[in-house]
């Protein structure tokens, strides 16, 4: 009996050791790397792992793509994400039931992302969003690309950052939060001369800073640029999508 009990404990101990030593068995996987040219890594909870084809991606991962590199991620619902060199993507939300997507949201810190989003089931409220510091691109079933780069190509203030959303197929709603004008009056007129008395208007109530959402809906073959202001929809610039990243996308669709 004693020997049997020791054997049972040994089996459980071995199983626990396998789980601890094999992070690839993590249950939080939301997709895997299906193509990689060059180098990339993921960081989660302070732990960094070099990526390769077949590597699992999890919720709250930060994905960084190295120089002269490109990456393709296949999500659980068979949606596809591709990232260009120098891109950083943070996975904030990824909820799936089986192979059905309930919600997905990621932040593009900088770089370029191309996505082919599997259409949600009829009547589903599932979302797919890509966010930058400039705006949010929300989609249902579509193919689109987001470039978020420094227009000056140097380290300059954030106002030089530009986001361009390009829609190849389907529909994308791009929304931006902007400050509303502050209510109240600004004192005007010339300053009084030295020694001159001038009546000053009583203090007036000024509202706290408020925000409002502006948005533009893009149909297929349209694009929009977002700087400090949200632009209007323009025809798709297909030449801009023929760069090195665009060629990687073409090879891996």
Read off the pLDDT of residues 117-142 as tens digits, 9 standing for 90 and up. Answer: 998 776 567 899 999 999 999 998 89
Residue 11, pLDDT > 70, answer: no
Query: How confident is the model at residue 74, as a pLDDT?
Result: 98
Residue 41's alpha-carbon distances to 34, 103, 197, in angstroms, are: 14, 24, 69
Query: How confident is the model at residue 98, as a pLDDT?
Result: 83
> What is the dihedral sign for C-alpha 31, 238, 151, 132?
negative
Please count the structural domains in the chain: 1
Cα angle: 192, vertex 196, 202; to 5 degrees: 65
Query: How confident is the model at residue 194, as a pLDDT?
Result: 47
Query: How confident is the model at residue 122, as a pLDDT?
Result: 62
Query: How confident is the model at residue 88, as a pLDDT?
Result: 98
Are the C-beta atoms of 101 and 77 separated by less than 8 Å?
yes
Give domain status of residue 8, yes or no.
Answer: no
Give domain status of residue 103, yes or no.
Answer: yes
Expressed as residue numbers, the domain containing 41 is 27-181+209-252
The DSSP-derived string for 180-195 is: PPPPS----SPPPPTT
Query: How confident is the model at residue 166, as a pLDDT?
Result: 98
The length of the chain is 253
> What is the dihedral sign for C-alpha 227, 230, 234, 237?
positive
Give domain status of residue 150, yes or no.
Answer: yes
Give domain status of residue 108, yes or no.
Answer: yes
Give domain status of residue 2, yes or no.
Answer: no
- Give 179's pLDDT tier (boundaries 50, 70, 90): confident
Residue 14, pLDDT > 50, answer: no
Give domain status of residue 203, yes or no.
Answer: no
Three-state secondary structure call for residue 43: strand
Q: What is the mean pLDDT of residues 68-89?
A: 97
CATH of the domain at 164: 2.60.120.1440
Are the C-beta atoms of 66 and 90 separated by less than 8 Å?
no
The rounded distance, in Å, linking the Cα atoms of 80 and 83 is 10
Give domain status of residue 239, yes or no.
Answer: yes
Query: How confident is the model at residue 144, as a pLDDT?
Result: 96
Residue 69, pLDDT > 50, answer: yes
Give domain status of residue 190, yes or no.
Answer: no
Residue 100, pLDDT > 50, answer: yes
Residue 77, pLDDT > 70, answer: yes
- Give 178's pLDDT tier (boundaries 50, 70, 90): confident
């Amino acid at each position: 009996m004693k020997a049997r009990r020791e054997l049972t404990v040994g089996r459980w101990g071995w199983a626990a050791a396998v789980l601890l030593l094999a992070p690839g068995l993590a249950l939080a996987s939301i997709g895997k790397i299906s193509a990689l040219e060059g180098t990339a890594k993921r960081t989660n909870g302070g732990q960094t792992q070099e990526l390769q084809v077949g590597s699992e991606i999890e919720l709250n991962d930060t994905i960084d793509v190295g120089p002269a590199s490109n990456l393709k991620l296949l999500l659980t619902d068979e949606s596809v994400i591709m990232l260009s060199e120098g891109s950083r993507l943070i996975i904030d939300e990824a909820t799936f039931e089986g192979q059905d997507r309930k919600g997905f949201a990621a932040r593009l810190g900088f770089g370029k992302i191309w996505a082919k989003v599997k259409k949600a089931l009829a009547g589903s409220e599932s979302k797919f969003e890509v966010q930058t510091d400039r705006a949010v691109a929300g989609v249902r079933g579509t193919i689109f690309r987001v470039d978020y780069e420094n227009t000056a190509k140097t380290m300059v203030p954030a106002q030089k950052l530009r986001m361009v959303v390009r829609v190849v197929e389907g529909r994308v709603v791009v929304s931006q939060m902007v400050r509303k004008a502050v209510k109240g009056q600004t004192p005007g007129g010339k300053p009084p001369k030295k020694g001159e008395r001038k009546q000053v208007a009583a203090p007036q109530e000024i509202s706290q800073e408020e925000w409002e959402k502006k948005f533009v809906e893009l149909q297929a073959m349209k694009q929009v640029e977002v700087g400090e202001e949200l632009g209007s929809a323009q025809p798709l610039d297909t030449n801009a999508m023929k760069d090195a990243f665009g060629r990687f996308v073409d090879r891996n669709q």
